[in-house]
Amino acid sequence: MATARAISVLSLSQNRAVVRSIHVHIEPHGYGIGGILESDPFSVYDLGVALRVLEPRPKAIVVGRGYTEEEANEVRKAFVEYHKDVDLDAGVVIKITDEVFDEVGKEGIPKWVLEQLQAYFEK
């Protein structure tokens, strides 16, 4: 019997340890980190390449604290264009802000990311 494929998530992060902890937490719930893009400085071109090489195609992007809100907005725009280019339904960009980090702490980030994914994909 075939198993359902996890919803692929691209992580834009400069902290692989946090990304691994997010992956471990979300994987049992049907989500998985399909790739990590460490882009410093942020590059829309690099994001476009990462989106196109990953299989399955990412349906979500998690943007880490190391990136500004302006960069997160660039990610959102590029993600919308990517979805149009490949004829997919829209996905979601989740930005981990300093406020979120202060509220939930480092240990709470994986749970918070899962909640955001579930709010979008399981509505």
pLDDT in tens, 46-88: 999 999 999 999 999 999 999 999 999 999 999 999 988 888 8
Taking only the tens place, the pLDDT of each residue in 11-42 is 999 899 999 999 999 999 999 999 999 988 89
Question: Domains in the chain, start-ordered, CATH in brackets?
Answer: 7-121 (3.40.50.2300)
- Rounded to whole angstroms, the Cα distance separating 67 from 87 reads 28
Listed residue (101, 27, 89, 91) closest to 64, CA to CA: 101
- Rounded to whole angstroms, the Cα distance separating 95 from 87 reads 24
pTM of the shown model: 0.93
Q: Kindly give the pairing relationship between strand 7-12 and strand 31-37.
A: parallel
